[in-house]
Chain A
């Protein structure tokens, strides 16, 4: 089991563009959470998906949206990119019944 995988590893976009990040959960996990980690900061919760629905949401604008597919994989979409969206985006998977989350390696997004 490769654990949680994320793609791409790095991404460069310009302001105003849209981006899609992808995540495959650890085998057997049904819940996916997304976090944004700015340089020098701890991860900040964006949202969590379970049964293809957004279950929890952090303090992020509607420009941030997501999706979960029947195979439990997930996408994070960010519209109208701002310079401040430059960060490491982490995906974490878990079982809905557990608080223990397993993290992926992250996607580093740079917005120019």
Chain B
């Protein structure tokens, strides 16, 4: 079975500082990885997916199959980045469409 671990429940940084939200997964196959974000009083929304290899709102994430990680990074954090971030995995194949989420990390960016 697949599992997603986000080791930090809370992460605080100052505006302009780099930020890295950690995500580790366990799955023996080739997963598809996602980062979802939930801003205050808004619904959960897709931030980025590894297969598209794009940068959204300055965030990037690289899939490291050797370390089974998919950490989310941004070189200069902004106050509007404060939100709950979830890493999610789809195993594909017979589990296509089933997302397995981590417990989430609350990011707070201080002015």
Contacts and interface: CB of A to CB of B under 8 A. Distances in A.
A7 B92 CA distance: 30
A65 interface: no
A48 interface: yes
Given A100-B49, A106-B43, A45 B102 contact: no
Given A43-B44, A104-B43, A105-B43, A99 B101 contact: no
B32 interface: yes
Q: What class of interface size applies to chain B in its complex with A?
A: 20 to 34
The winner among A4, A42, A44, A94 for most chain B CB atoms within 10 A is A42
B11 interface: no
Contacts of B95: 56
A55 interface: yes
Contacts of B49: 99-100
A16 interface: no
Nearest to A105: B43
A101 B101 CA distance: 13
Contacts of A45: 98-100
B97 A40 contact: no
B97 A90 contact: no
Interface in A1-30: 3-4
B97 A48 contact: yes
B103 A40 contact: yes
B43 A33 contact: no
Contacts of A100: 46, 49
Interface of B: 4, 32, 34, 36, 43-46, 49, 86, 88, 90, 92, 95-104
